[in-house]
A and B are shown apart, each in its own frame.
Chain A
Amino acid sequence: MNPDEPILDADDAALLDDESPPAMRERVCRLLSQQPYGVLCVQGGGQPYGALVAYAFSEDLRHLVFTTPVTTRKYRLLSESAQVAFVVDSRSGETDDLMELEAVTATGRAHLINRGGEFEHWAELLVRRHTYLKSFVSAASCALFRIDVVRFLHVVRFQEVRQWIPADQS
């Protein structure tokens, strides 16, 4: 586990212990597949900040990738602190039944991917999912970030929360 990752406060929600990895993995994977946009949560100087972004994810669910112009607040805050959360939920789906809504919060660290090296790989992953971002990603004033996910928290039935640490899967 990443030593920077805060320990979950068990009072925050009804925290059930680890479910068997495949079931949780499938749920997370399904929700991430269904929802092309998520809320990136960053911080700086004690001030949290959230922004809706288009994203893609790696097959092993250990990484999320997104892009942002370097002129934005979120870029500056990411430069100050790499610790982020990323929230994806099913509000835009067919149901508005509170008990059926699902959300996943990923926590981890965001890394700026410099051009060259693995940039192409992550850019392609993002553009494959969001074709319209092709020129955006290649623009010199855009930065590409990869979030290395430490933990997923999956919420369903209003307060039922499970956590999953992808690195723990064998």
Chain B
Amino acid sequence: MDSSRPVLIPLHAVEARHEPIVGGKAAKLSQLARAGFTVPRGVCLTTWAYESFVDDADIVNTIRMELGRKSLDEMRWEEIWDAALRIRAAFMSQPLSDSLQSTIAEVLSAFDSSTPLAVRSSAIGEDSADRSFAGLHESIIGVRRTNAVRDAVRLVWASLWSDAALLYRKELGLDPARSRMAVLIQEMVDDDRSGVAFARDPREPRTEHAIIESVPGPCSLLVDGMVDPDRWEIHRKTRSVIAWRPGQREGSNDDGPLLEPRDLEKILETLLSVEQLFPWAPDIEWTGRSETLTVLQARPITTVAPEEDDKRSWYLSLRPSDLRLRDLRKRVSEQLIPELEALGQALAAEQLDPLDDEQLAQAIRARADSVAEWKMIYWDEFIPFAHGVRRLGTYYNDAVKPDDPYEFVGLLRDQPLLAAQRNRAIAVLAQQLGSHDSVRAAVERLLREHAGSMKWVDFRRELLQIEDVAAGFVEGFERLSERFLDVTYDDERLYDQPEPLLWNIVELSRLPDRRPQSSRASGESASVLQQRLLDAVGPERHEEAQHVLETGRVSWKLRDDDNLLVARLQSQLLRALSVAASRLRDRGQLGDEGKPNASHVEPLVQALRVPNAAPIVLAPHTAATKSNPLPTAQGESARQLIGQPASPGLATGTVRCIRGRDALSKFRRGEILVCDAIEPTMTHLVPLASAIVERRGGMLIHGSIIARELGIPCVNGVRNAADVLKDGDFVTVDGHLGIVTVGAAEFDLERDF
């Protein structure tokens, strides 16, 4: 070993000068050990080991490519998660050099082979007094075998670039060329009591109150939020207990406090001694009782509250533990989704015309309240549960180590998503039109005649007059509308606007039969991937793998369905508002022809309740489409745009930008679908498209998954896609590489492929 670049330093031999290569966590623990505190035995794998690995594996360029595709400030959280996943896969796919393997063997020789180990991150600069970034990096506990330690070390290294760390990249000063991660490998010490303790109350640091929290079992139960702790407030000087709050744990609340007074005394004494050692008030993680207290970690208390508009801490909370995900799965799938579905159906069945004004006002208010309530539930429970599919991704990748970090997406195939059911129903109608040219011709003619002002009842009547064989089509379309079009798009009810979908069905009916419907032929089936996962984890972890898999699948399905179900509530609110608007207009209380939207609840309710008030005017609807054109000089134009390769394939065609409902009608088969984001309510357009280009990025968003299912190239996360590209532009979309080339194709598609 090069003595100027030590790769391994036993924890007890770490000195202050080593902090730049062992990280803050290891340096502090070593200082505690030297001062006589009991800390678990450990060995530091220094930043030189990290450097040796990333140099051998040329990972710096991989990180640069991931983080340099576009400014991180412009990346959505999903895109940051994707970048972190690919970086993680790069770390995991590179083998350790012989030299690093020997080093890890040397580490393991320091421990009894039966002792479970904790492999912990010890980032450089982490936990300094003015910055505390607990929880951004990985720590893996209960590691036993050599291979598991090797994997754990790489995971900890990769976590320097975790999605959470990337969110705080500026504060952390992350730089692919300079940032380093040290790893602390310790024997695990878990007593029957563990917890955290704060030398001062983080919420009120000026008081003389210390805080102690304890759970039965290992500290990870508390840190991961899996068990509610007992909590004490203790006066630092008098050492008296000011308050005790028992934890809410099943069947254990009658047992009295988890800790004895002498345990509390010992923990407080330890806290105050640690405080003497460092120039800051500490919080510590500990395990044991008065006689056996072991300090697992010490760091400065974080007292700085996040700024109000800083949503990053909320994002960090979206990484629920497996246990929490299991709870969420039960609650979301067994309670919330059925409730939401039933509510939507009940509202749709409600007759609004017979209601008097006050009853209608109440119905509107109740619907608006329901929408607000379910939006809260959406943020508080549906979005955290959506993490289940990400958890499945990392679980699969850690076990299988596939070349493609998105191989796990194949496990999500064939889920009975509402959008997929809707798209199948649309395909059946398209097939009907495709096999009846005369009906299709009549539908098309009527659509042209009624363009822009179509009412379904008139259309229906006229169609049946021309072609009585269209009855089956009419009936099918009405069933489709009832079941799937009771949703909002661009703040309007699709149910009231059948025109775009009818045009889409006409276009779909012209798709050649031989068009590839799915990429499944080339991809592996869900059952093959599932077996691969089970083989990789081994029989002892089959049950765990099944849980992660099932939770991931339910999470994915509901993540899609919940959007449509909440959109149904919004649609039902719009229905009630339309009834009110129509009634008020008839009475001269509404002074315009504007369509009501969700922002008109208050004026319409007021107008219903005060019949003699002056006529109101509805503020016009403004499209929510974001527009942020890039400044370009005269003569300058985009030639090649980059994004994420979200679905493989290569296609050329002309651009159709979808901005709002009207553009949906204009979409023609073979065009390149360019939009801000593919909403669940417009996924039926995807089979018509030659390729998809989206501003919104992510490998697990609707557009990506459906494009992959249908074998249609997709590039997303393209900066300002819908502003840079214009209707009629000729483009080439390379879904293998994530490139959109503007202008004539530089290759001969027929010759090369």
A residues apposed to B, CB below 8 Å: 69-73, 75-76, 129-132, 135-136, 139-142
Contact = CB atoms under 8 A, between A and B. Distances in A.
Nearest to A36: B61
8 contacts: A69-B737, A70-B752, A71-B741, A76-B746, A132-B61, A136-B737, A139-B737, A141-B736
Contacts of B710: none
Interface in B713-753: 732, 734, 736-737, 739, 741, 745-747, 752-753
Contact of A72 (B650, B746, B752): B746
Nearest to B56: A131
Contacts of A71: 650, 732, 734, 739, 741, 745-747
Most A CB atoms within 10 A — which of B404, B732, B736? B736
Given A136-B737, A139-B736, A140-B648, A75 B746 contact: yes
A135 B58 CA distance: 14
Given A73-B746, A139-B736, 6 more contacts: A69-B737, A71-B650, A76-B747, A129-B58, A131-B61, A132-B90
Most B CB atoms within 10 A — which of A72, A139, A141, A142? A141
A142 B737 contact: yes
Contacts of B400: none
B272 interface: no
Contact of A132 (B58, B736, B741, B746): B58
B441 interface: no
B528 interface: no
A140 B647 CA distance: 12
B734 A141 contact: yes
B85 to A, nearest CB: 13
A58 B171 CA distance: 44
B57 interface: yes
Contact of B747 (A70, A129, A131): A70
Most B CB atoms within 10 A — which of A71, A136, A139, A142? A71
A135 B738 CA distance: 12
Given A71-B732, A139-B648, A141-B650, A131 B62 contact: yes
Contacts of A142: 736-737
Nearest to B752: A70
A75 B734 CA distance: 14
A136 B752 CA distance: 17
Top 3 A-B residue pairs of the complex, sorted by shortest distance between their CB atoms: A139-B736, A131-B58, A141-B736
A167 to B, nearest CB: 31
B731 to A, nearest CB: 10
Contacts of B734: 69, 71, 141
B59 interface: yes
B374 to A, nearest CB: 40
B65 interface: yes
Contact of A130 (B61, B645, B745): B61
B737 A132 contact: no
Contacts of A73: 746
Interface string B86-111: 00001000100000000000000000
A62 to B, nearest CB: 25
A40 to B, nearest CB: 15
A132 B65 contact: yes
A69 B734 CA distance: 9
B648 A69 contact: no
Interface in B403-424: 404
B739 A69 contact: yes
Contacts of A69: 734, 737, 739
A141 B57 contact: no
A141 B745 CA distance: 13
A140 B736 contact: yes
A129 B62 CA distance: 12
A55 B64 CA distance: 18
Contacts of B64: 132
Nearest to B738: A139
Given A71-B650, A71-B746, A75-B746, A141 B737 contact: yes
Contacts of A140: 648, 650, 736, 753
B753 to A, nearest CB: 8
A131 B59 contact: yes
A135 B648 CA distance: 12
Nearest to B404: A135
Contacts of B61: 130-132
Nearest to B64: A132
Nearest to A112: B752
Nearest to B733: A71
Interface string B611-655: 000000000000000000000000000000000010010100000
A29 B736 CA distance: 33
A131 B648 contact: no
A75 B62 contact: no
A88 to B, nearest CB: 18
